[in-house]
Amino acid sequence: MKMSELSERSGVSAASIKAYQREELLPDPERSSPNQARYDGNHIDRLRLVRALIDVGGLSVAAVRNVLAAAEADIPLDWSMGAAQRAIPGSIDLPELPSRGVTKVDQITKDLGWMVSHDNSGRGMAARVVDSYLELDHGEFLSGLPEYSRAAAIVADTDLATVALQPSRARMSETVVVGTVLGDVLFAGLRRTAQEDAARRLYSGYQS
């Protein structure tokens, strides 16, 4: 199909498609002549993936490029997951080491028997939040860390089970990216619905 049809079928403007091509987010089209590019279903699928990561996952175009490149690199799948995680931009500043947050997070993951690399991007994210709780004089949040970790293990096991279902390495990589980026938003959404229910039970005298 031509660019006009690709735009119509994917719902993405031709200008955006061209921008994604410049960022190398799309496979090259077939060219029967220099001015005649032909696109296929793979381009539609890829555009849907890119748009979901931007519109729903909140990533920038540059972040999408980095995360897809990392996930698709020809490396073992557990490395691929770490590379994809690191490519998702922490919009946050990581803690300067050593910090109390890092010590606390390392202690908790150690107590749970988790093997976590020093450069795991989540270790820095969690540690930075713990440091903030302490700086803001909200150390009482730390008593919730074991329950947060228990919930994180449930979600992570669910995530990996979904990856294991996939029929090919390429599909596994895509699942890692989609599940990591959109899964954060899914969980944040479900957390807010659960919070409303929990708040009503605690504060309104209703019982659900």
What token pair was written down for 187? 């969980």
Does residue 154 touch a second copy according to CB under 8 A? Answer: yes
| Token pair for 101 | 């947050």
Compose the 166-195 pattern: x for residues touching a second copy by CB under 8 A, - for all others: --------xx--xxx-xxxxxxxxxxxxxx
From 13-21, 27-35, 65-73, 153-161, give the range in contact with a second copy by CB under 8 A.
153-161
- Quick check: 44 binds a second copy (CB under 8 A)? no
Among 56, 97, 111, 170, binds a second copy (CB under 8 A): 56
| Using rule CB under 8 A, residue 73 touches a second copy | no
Toward a second copy, which CB reaches closer, 41 or 98? 41
- Say whether residue 123 binds a second copy (CB under 8 A): yes
**Residue of the chain from 32, 33, 35, 91 that contacts a second copy (CB under 8 A):** 91
Told to check if 156 binds a second copy by CB under 8 A, we report: yes
Which position among 14, 75, 92, 97 is part of the footprint of a second copy (CB under 8 A)? 92
* Residue 205 contacts a second copy per CB under 8 A: no
- How many residues touch a second copy (CB under 8 A)? 92
Residue 21 found at the interface with a second copy (CB under 8 A): no
